Structure 1
Amino acid sequence: MTAVAGTAGRPVALVLRHDSAIGLGNLGPVLEEHGYEVRVVDAPHADVTAIDALAPDLLVVLGGDEAAYQADTYPYVGHEIELLRQRIEAEAPVFGVCLGAQMLASALGARVYQGARKEVGWLGVDPTDAGDASPVRHARGVRFVQWHGDTFDLPEGVERLASSPAYPNQAFRRGDWMLAVQFHPEVTPAIHEDWLEAWGDELPEYGLSVERMRELQAECGPAAEAASRAILGEFLDGLAATRRPERLAS
């Protein structure tokens, strides 16, 4: 399955999805508003090795229950990391979310591993000075869904953009072409409900309940969605601004 040019010359955003419940959510409309033709690949059921790593204009790697260090159990995870290595070498645009961020860290040579305790709930992140000069600045003062137990060492050659008390590496970038976030910017009310149905039994361990999470979604969800759209939108605007001369020259 090789990605090809978009319809009528539109740029292609290839999305690697690992679970139907962990989709693009409110990020999908942002991609479309920026002119992208969105193509979703369900990585567990696809031949990832057949994807031309450099054909998509943008690669988006979403979250999942898998771990970036479980390629022996989930071979497609290793194939995705190799795909990311090829894009990194070419400085081809990529956006990673949760597992996608962990895979990017692995592709960059950093260690990915289990954290001391899962980070679950509607929680804030603190942008760094570099983060305040990046699209992640829109995350300041906003609470996002966190639902992960893995973390990673900060790869060499990237900027840390945000941290949290439990997990210091919440976002990073390299240049204008790579952005990775550990928190979940894609969550909509529908996705939130899917996650509560699938993993709500974990919540009491973190002092939460399904009912409390619903209250938090009503309280925090609109601001999180707006901030998330701004983060991705500004990243895409940056890609358009810096890549336009290359496209015109071609």
Structure 2
Amino acid sequence: MRIHYLQHVPFENPGIILSWAESRKYPVTCTRLFEDDKLPAGEDFDWLVIMGGPMNIYEEETYPWLIKEKEFIKTAISENKLILGLCLGAQLIADVIGGKVVKNQYSEIGWFPVTFTKEAMALPQFSHFPPNPVVFEWHGDTFTDLPKESMLIATNEACRNQAFAYGKRVYGFQFHLENTRQIITDLIENCRDEMVPGTYIQSVSEILAGKRFIDQNNQWMLQLLDKLENLQND
């Protein structure tokens, strides 16, 4: 199985997903859009992972590669690839399937609980999650008005739409289960200007104290990847 990921900034990579792929000896390739890398042909990958980033999906004038990226994601969906979008990645998926991406009432930065829906918990892909896991958030936008083929996976008070499934092979998560300690440290260093006082914005010390949650978040991601691997092989 060949995994390809789309990277928007140098400091946000797939984290624990890369470790999982390495343990399986799956080949991994990358398009660094911020370096204007070439996108692969559809026959060159099986899984697509779309990373986060501080830009917004509607900033095409500032980041013109967003235009070709959206077309690439749309094509990958039509080719029945297994796709996992994380934060900005989830918002990009939502946009290309006909949803809307708008500024959320609150920005979320830090460790917060989400609630998995009953419909999601009934699916084998998500049955290993507790009902209210504490996860890592870093976003100001959200996705809304998803098509009827979508299922809401998780929600919380700060942001109703935390995760969704589109059919059986496309998944978008507003939160980050993939982050390593280094990625979180780099996010703080590179995006500190977003950490203004807010209802759902934690301080640097609160975020660093929450690093105890990382191993559990990573374990949930590893279990999810195992289950998606079985789905890929069915």
Q: Give TM-score scaled by structure 2 length.
A: 0.90
Give CA deviations for 1:149-189 in whole Å, capped at 9, x if unaligned. Answer: 01111421111111111212111113331111110111111
> Secondary structure of 1:136's match?
coil
What are the ranges of 5 or more consecutive residues in structure 1 without an aligned counterpart? Answer: 1-10, 243-250
The separation in 2 between residues aligned to 1:108 and 1:203, in whole angstroms, is: 31
Is structure 2 residue 166 aligned with structure 1 residue 170? no
2:69 paired residue number: 80
Match of 1:100 in 2: 89
- Partners of 1:225 and 1:89 in 2: CA distance: 29
Instruction: Say if 1:138 and 1:86 are closer, same or farther in 2 by CA, change over 3 A.
Output: same
AA aligned opposite 1:152: F
1:239 shift after superposition: 1.2
Larger Rg: 1
Q: Distance in 2 between matches of 1:91 and 1:184?
A: 24
Percent identity, aligned pairs only?
26
C-alpha change, 1:202 and 1:106, in structure 2 (3 Å) is closer
Do structure 1's residue 222 and structure 2's residue 212 form an aligned pair?
Answer: no
Q: Deviations over 1:88-144 (max 9, x none)?
A: 222222111111100000110111111112011101111112210142344433211
Deviation of the 1:145 alpha carbon: 0.9
1:211 corresponds to 2:205: yes
Q: How far apart, in 2, do the equivalents of 1:35 and 1:237 lie?
A: 16
Change (3 A) 1:213 1:175: same
Residue ranges of structure 2 left out of the alignment (5+ in a row)? none
Give the alignment's TM-score, normalised by structure 1.
0.84
Residues 105 and 152 in structure 1, CA contact (< 8 A), matched pair in contact too:
yes
SS of match in other structure, 1:166: coil
- Residue 144 of structure 1 is aligned with which of 135, 141, 162? 135
| Alignment correspondent of 1:125 | 114
CA distance in 2, matches of 1:43, 1:138: 33
* Cα root mean square deviation, aligned: 1.8
